């Protein structure tokens, strides 16, 4: 990606210095798993040889484990560039929605992005490293522990800055859904018909993938990304497909349990947003 390190965005709330101690791998109250949450559950399942997915699918997990970690200085030189990159992507994504959303009859309001280490509190409950990056619709903030990007590169085979940018753009996509009223409508439908909880969740996540692609379309036009960056984004989308993650956790692939969509679906909807560059191209709810 072509970008220049600069000032930190006014929309970033840095809580890394206030750390919450160790990472507790218990439940997450009031919110849904983001991209990172699903990935980290795979890691935990592999490490501890137990099904951490059951925590979020109605099963009964074993007692939670706590791993103590020792964090270095929050603003170390090693993290400075990564924070600047997150800041650049956040501002660029939100400026794009400032421009596009009025075309859909809505005014865009900026989400905040909270940087934290190990754990912090969100409007949706306790946010922990094990949750991964996620958007909380209650307080309209995206929560990110930078250590997640190491997992994305090293364990899930999705290196490159644009892979990270895809994750951030996806989470901001959920904020766009909240502004457009889509997120609230889906939650009400899920409460009305429990059988539709997972299918509707998949449609919601695929639309956020498409919205990430809409932003990618604008970066391509401005020569911020090239073909190799696009490939990086597609690899990241494929890396977080439910079918691939279930195989990584040595689980049987169970489409009825999908909450984010298959690798092929995620790649397809991200590519659609990338090619079309329009909000109207992202109506995942019109397809079955």
- Tens digit of pLDDT at every position of the chain (288 positions): 988 888 899 999 999 987 554 333 333 334 455 555 555 444 444 433 444 444 444 433 333 333 333 344 445 666 888 999 999 999 999 999 999 999 989 999 999 999 999 999 999 999 888 778 999 999 999 999 988 888 877 776 666 788 889 999 999 999 999 999 999 999 999 999 999 999 999 999 999 999 999 999 999 999 998 888 888 878 777 777 877 778 877 777 887 878 888 889 999 999 999 999 999 999 999 866
- Cβ(160)–Cβ(232) under 8 Å? yes
- Cβ(12)–Cβ(112) under 8 Å? yes
Distance set, CA 247 to CA 42, 56, 115 (Å): 9, 17, 30
| Distance in angstroms (rounded) separating the CA atoms of residues 196 and 131 | 23
Which pTM was predicted?
A: 0.79
| Distance in angstroms (rounded) separating the CA atoms of residues 3 and 6 | 9
Residue 67 phi, psi dihedral angles, 5° rounding: -115, 120
What 3-state DSSP class applies to 127? strand
Distance set, CA 61 to CA 58, 161, 253, 287 (Å): 9, 35, 20, 34
Distance set, CA 74 to CA 4, 14, 118, 134, 176 (Å): 22, 9, 12, 21, 30
What 3-state DSSP class applies to 125? strand
| Distance in angstroms (rounded) separating the CA atoms of residues 174 and 207 | 8
* Parallel/antiparallel/unpaired status of strands 66-67 and 119-122: unpaired
Q: Where does the chain have alpha helices with state H?
A: 35-48, 77-100, 147-154, 161-180, 182-192, 197-221, 227-239, 242-248, 263-276
What 3-state DSSP class applies to 71? coil
């Amino acid at each position: 990606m072509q970008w220049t390190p600069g000032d930190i965005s006014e929309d970033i709330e840095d809580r890394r210095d206030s750390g919450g101690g160790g990472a507790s791998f218990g439940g997450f109250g009031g919110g849904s798993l983001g991209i990172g949450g699903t990935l980290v559950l795979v890691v935990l399942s592999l490490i501890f040889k137990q099904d951490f997915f059951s925590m979020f699918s109605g099963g009964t997990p074993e007692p939670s484990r706590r791993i103590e970690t020792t964090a270095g200085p929050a603003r170390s030189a090693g993290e400075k560039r990564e924070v600047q990159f997150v800041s650049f992507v956040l501002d660029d994504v939100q400026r794009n929605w400032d421009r596009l959303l009025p075309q859909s009859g809505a005014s865009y309001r900026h989400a905040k992005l909270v940087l934290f280490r190990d754990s912090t509190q969100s409007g949706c409950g306790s946010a922990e490293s094990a949750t991964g990056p996620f958007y909380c619709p209650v307080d309209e903030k995206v929560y990110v522990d930078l250590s997640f990007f190491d997992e994305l590169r090293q364990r899930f085979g999705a290196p490159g800055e644009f892979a990270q940018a895809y994750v951030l753009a996806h989470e901001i996509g959920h904020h766009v859904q909240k502004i457009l009223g889509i997120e609230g409508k889906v939650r009400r439908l899920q409460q009305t018909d429990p059988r539709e909880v997972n299918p509707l969740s998949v449609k919601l996540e695929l639309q956020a993938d498409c919205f990430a692609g809409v932003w990618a379309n604008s970066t391509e036009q401005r020569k911020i990304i090239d073909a190799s960056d696009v490939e990086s984004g597609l690899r990241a989308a494929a890396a977080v497909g439910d079918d691939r993650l279930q195989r990584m956790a040595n689980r049987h692939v169970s489409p009825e349990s999908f909450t984010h969509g298959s690798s092929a679906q995620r790649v397809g909807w991200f590519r659609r947003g990338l090619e079309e560059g329009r909000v109207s191209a992202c109506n995942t709810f019109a397809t079955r």
